[in-house]
A and B are shown apart, each in its own frame.
Chain A
Amino acid sequence: MNMMMSEPTTGLLSADKPLSIAILAMGGQGGGVLADWIVALAEAEGWVAQTTSVPGVAQRTGATIYYLELLKARPGATPILSLMPTPGDVDIVLAAELMEAGRSVLRGLVTPDKTLLIASTHRSYAVGEKEKPGDGIGNPETVVTATDFAARMTVAFDMERLAVKNGSVISSAMFGALAASGALPFSKEAFEATIRAGGKGIDASLRAFNAAFDRATERSNDRPVAAPVKRLDPLPATAGHPALDRLVARIRAECPPAVQAMAYAGVKKLTDFQDPAYADAYLTRLGQLHAADAAAGGMARGFAFTLQAAKYLAVAMAYDDVIRVADLKTRASRFERVRKEVGAKADQILYTTEYMHPRMEEVCGTLPARLGHFIEARPKLYAWLDRLINKGRRVKTGTLFWFSGLYLVSGLRRWRLGSLRHQREAAHWETWLAEASALLTEDYDLAVEVLGNRRLVKGYSDTHARGLSKFDRVMAAVPMLKGRDDAAPWMRRLRQAALLDEQGTALDGALKTVATL
């Protein structure tokens, strides 16, 4: 202030334009470090650089934007730089996560005429995506389609993984990708010098920077896909044990080719859950369903019913009980996996503590059916026992006491098929299969959807009860839908609604709609 400007002598306007850069990141990702690096780099190269941000509470994990303008200014002149990006007028957008790249496009910061988009393709899921009882993850392909269209050029790969692999954080990798893009007229050495001048974690930062530089130089983007990759193994020639070979032979002989891989996955799961005989029973039941499918003209529909049954019957038969939990927790392979997951080194000792909360309900379920019934029929006894049992327990699996406890429980597997829980589960799936089979001739597609409803049953204790109730509510719509042309799509919609929220509010709404059809 304090200086009155006189009338400009030339009246001519300079055509100089600053280079504008927006960084979209989440709080804690180091977007500020990246912005500071770019400023330091530009200033070292004799440019004028300005950066701004609105950290505020956004520093606590929220989405945030850093904005920079760089200009090789006319000697002696002080440019006036903007403090926020103008949609449609941004040269470079750096997005530190895939959905943030999407957000930058939604905000109009990425335009085909000028914007270079540098984006990490990894996902950090938002609460809204994670909290859904089903699959709430946003479709990454939508983002790729939009960025492909909106950006002049896109450099996209998993910079997070690359950074972590090199012991650094994503800002180093993004700086490397920026250097490789050639969008800034500064040499790679100048970029590296900036990191060195930073002073902290230089070696790791440089490693990640160089790895990202090389990766970006390949000019081939990672393309995330929406459908998760599922492992469907082909049938093996031999499984190394006569009982297993018999199972494989049955699948080969009895299942249509399109179903074999899924049936094999089911057989593997159930052999692991119980034993080969149990898997054999599964194949027998599946065979009956397949016969009904064939009778209903399933051949023309690629045996969709059998395929669906192969999947969900296996899920139903491998129900989650305490025996299974104890079994999974005590396996040697699990001990190894945890070591790997937490990155324990050879000279370190690892112990795990399981957070368990058994209730009388689970205990009763594990007891032989008659004994379980006996206790359940006596509420006072049940309540008294529940008081003894029902509390949170910290199970230290690596100690002899707790391990042998779990080991004993997992050993109950031998008696599982006589347990109250098994009796109930079997009754439940038989009712469900019967209902689905009964629909086969009348409405094949609806029958397939009814099988798919099994997806709603999951979890333990309250969660399991809620899942069952959703399953029941969805199934209750079958009589309403029967006979309609669009019964199957409606059934699918109901199931999707059931997976939207915990209480089933969306489901109730959808059911009301169905009632008015």
Chain B
Amino acid sequence: MAERSFASEVEDLKLGAGEIFSGEGILAITKALLQAGVSYVGGYQGSPISHLMDVLADAKDVMDELGVHFESSASEAAAAAMLSASVMYPARGAVTWKSTAGTNVASDALSNLSSGGVTGGALVIIGEDYGEGSSIMQERSHAFAMKSQMWLLTPRPNLTAIVEAVEKGFELSEASNTPVMLQVGIRSCHVHGQFIAKDNKRPAFTLKEALESPRRDVNRIVLPPASFLHEKEKLERRWPAAVDFVRANGLNEFFGPSAGEIGIIVQGGLYNNLMRALQQLGLADVYGESRVPIYVLNVSYPLIDEEVLDFARDKSALIMVEEGAPEYIEQALHTLMRRRDIQTKLSGKDVLPLGGEYTTPVLVRGLAAFFEANAPKLLGNRPPVPDPTPVLADPRVKALSEVVPPRPAGFCTGCPERPIFAAMKLVEKELGEHHVSADIGCHLFSILPPFNIGGTTMGYGLGPASASAFNVEAGKRSISVMGDGGFWHNGLATSVGNAVFNKQDGVILVVDNYYSSATGGQDILSSRALNPRRKTNNSIVDAVKGIGATWVRQIDRTYDVKAMRDTLREALTTKEKGPKIIVASSECMLNKQRRIKPLFAKAVKDGKRMVKERFGVDEDVCTGDHACIRLSGCPSLSVKHTDDPLKDDPVAAIDNSCVGCGNCGEVSEAAVLCPSFYRADVIHNPTGLDRFLAKVRARVIGWLQARRAAGRVVFAD
């Protein structure tokens, strides 16, 4: 069950010719796939393409009706390998993932796929997680296209252009027998816009037909001598075919005047930012009118030499606007012009930054430098460019940097992973710091305050593998952390298998929260929910035991900080050799709340006896040391100033967003913190017995309280 339900978006997938689709970029792509007659779709969830996967998962009836097969792949490698169906059969297939992380995982399959080539259109939709808000390393997917010779589409960031790129991408793939990558930036994926829909198409060729009349051709398999032929074929046949198709179909675009002193070449994805920059320089308007010739690379790879040369001819200087490092396109342009002995000057990363996002202000600076050097007259009377620097230089604003706190993403309210790291902190206090190999997933938030746990992260499911060098005699053991998502993605074989085989003497902590939570709460193999379309409820403990692990502990309630701490301590100190595997399981609170909140509300409404728990702090008892916060960091556990003149520091306070997970109490108990925490159980629809007991208790307690109060001499409050 994914975090978001796409029931209403599924309706958008049914739109017919001429109707207006209005919505998010990634959903437009999903619709475009159906319009293009895709036969199968796979992929691995992750921002920014999770919604594509989620909406398809929710669109079973639409897919069934069209005869489209959809699969949540076990990893990006699995998804890429799925495209093998298009090698021999004229079936259109699309897969999707987050790049470059996912492309790294998939690259083995992608290389093999590209080498042999495809018959049916094969489209890889990559959600490029680059720039602000990114959660991965900053690299370019462009390199994968170049090395494997797949074509790379970078359409302009509006829904119409992106949707057309999907359709043309399949055609290009088929025309050149080459898989095609369609790159969409994180903002394009989440951009809200509109396009005019077409009817959905049933696949021209179904997988059923393929299964029932299989084909094979040994020349398509990557094995000598065919693999040498593939290289030749790529260079001599498929590349020219692609260039011809791109040219003939005008996939790249020209804007502005056809002639000019200078020109701009830009990757399609940067077009909107470029236009805003030109607008600020007084050289373009909001409707796309431009005083400078612009050549838009909706296809970033391969370059269409003749188009480039036509564009460069008669111009004294060009600038290549290309985001990220290295500047592959700029280098290719230099090579091209040098070979043809074209004397047009080429700028690019000489005036633009080598790395980082090409935001409007960045482009304004770079373009202004380019124009000043090559066509100063164009800049005319130089309208003022938006400039916040005087504001930012003011001491009143500068003072803000002292008080505005960093606010990175962190564990949610009631997150079951928090007590795991609280327990690790407690063990750390007893046994000292340990080397901790972290992994990809929500649990990576442990590296941030207040926990500050974790030294490295090497890749999804690679946490324990990245601790493998530390398999030496020492006074301390390594600890590695891996989520259930990473475990099934890659971790079982690469990390656990590796550790068992090599008798890795460390501790492996598998954080099992029942979902692939960081990507939006999708089901995975060990999810506990019953999913009619997938086989869930497969035990992680059984899996690791199945490949030979012997020291395995299952903790079924991570909030039991004491048990967590004791198990960790045991794992770190036991005499037993080989990996010590702790599977710490509790449901992702975000998903759990989404699941149980409506059920709870309904039960209360139906008059059933229900108990609602939440935590509180007795502020009189709290002394404002905040040790509890340093072992928690829960958003609902905060601080507040009191009006008590004898108290200097703010006291702990729990707000109404508390879900009563119990972490506060467990931590204060296990760490012997203060007794100020309490859990409040509110009984909705109490039974007769409840009411009777409450009455008796209240009477006795009330009498005692009155007795005590009567004997006291205190100031009235």
Contacts and interface: CB of A to CB of B under 8 A. Distances in A.
A4 interface: yes
Nearest to A228: B641
B410 A62 contact: yes
A99 to B, nearest CB: 5
A77 B717 CA distance: 69
In this complex, the member of A3, A39, A126 whose beta carbon has the largest number of chain B beta carbons within 10 angstroms is A126
A150 B391 contact: yes
A152 to B, nearest CB: 11
A502 B272 contact: no
Nearest to A140: B403
Contacts, number: 464
B611 to A, nearest CB: 9
A408 to B, nearest CB: 10
B190 interface: yes
A251 to B, nearest CB: 12
B372 interface: no
Interface residues of B, number: 153
B666 A232 contact: no
A366 B689 CA distance: 38
Contact of B391 (A62, A110, A351, A463): A110
B616 interface: yes
A394 B642 CA distance: 27
Contacts of A229: 641, 643
B152 to A, nearest CB: 14
Nearest to A126: B405
Given A243-B713, A356-B669, A7 B258 contact: yes
Given A13-B284, A56-B48, A99 B646 contact: no
B304 interface: no
B562 A392 contact: yes
Given A62-B409, A83-B188, A14 B403 contact: no
Interface string A61-96: 111110000010110011111111011110000000
Taking residues whose C-beta sits less than 8 angstroms from the other chain, chain A's interface range is: 35 or more
A58 interface: yes
Given A1-B165, A83-B272, A467-B625, A13 B289 contact: yes
Interface string A363-402: 0000000000000000000000000000011100111100
Interface stretch (A215-223, A323-331, A442-450): A323-331
Contacts of A289: none
Contact of A127 (B165, B280, B448, B712): B448
Interface in A24-72: 26-28, 35-36, 39, 43, 49-65, 71
Contact of A86 (B193, B280, B285, B649): B280
A125 interface: yes
A400 B705 CA distance: 12
Nearest to B162: A1
A142 interface: yes
Contacts of B706: 332
Interface stretch (B61-69, B207-215, B530-538, B674-682): B674-682
Contacts of A53: 187, 190
Interface string B614-645: 10101011011111011001010111011111
B286 interface: yes
Interface string B259-280: 0000000001001110110001
A357 B675 contact: yes
A127 B450 contact: yes
B677 A130 contact: no
B292 to A, nearest CB: 12
B672 interface: yes
Given A126-B407, A150-B391, A342-B616, A462 B273 contact: no
Contacts of A333: 717
Interface in B274-313: 275-276, 280, 282-291, 298
A78 to B, nearest CB: 7
A314 B644 CA distance: 12
Contacts of A83: 157, 185, 187-188, 191, 272-273
A332 B701 CA distance: 9
B353 interface: no
B105 to A, nearest CB: 18
Given A4-B253, A50-B193, A55 B391 contact: no
In this complex, the member of A2, A39, A164 whose beta carbon has the largest number of chain B beta carbons within 10 angstroms is A2
A368 B233 CA distance: 94
A21 B708 CA distance: 60
B265 to A, nearest CB: 15
Given A3-B253, A265-B646, A359-B672, A338 B616 contact: yes
B396 interface: yes
Contacts of B289: 8, 10-14
A334 interface: yes
Contacts of B674: 320, 459-461, 463
B388 interface: yes
B180 to A, nearest CB: 14
A407 B623 CA distance: 22
B404 A58 contact: no
A206 interface: no
Nearest to B518: A57
Contacts of A59: 409
B701 A398 contact: yes
B624 to A, nearest CB: 6
A63 B627 contact: no
Nearest to B404: A102
Nearest to A398: B697
Nearest 6 Cβ contacts at the A-B interface: A108-B388, A54-B133, A62-B409, A228-B641, A88-B386, A392-B669
17 contacts: A4-B253, A11-B257, A43-B22, A51-B191, A56-B48, A83-B188, A83-B273, A86-B359, A89-B386, A130-B637, A268-B714, A269-B646, A272-B714, A325-B675, A332-B709, A335-B701, A357-B668
Given A99-B404, A102-B404, A330-B704, 6 more contacts: A4-B250, A4-B253, A56-B48, A266-B646, A311-B645, A458-B624
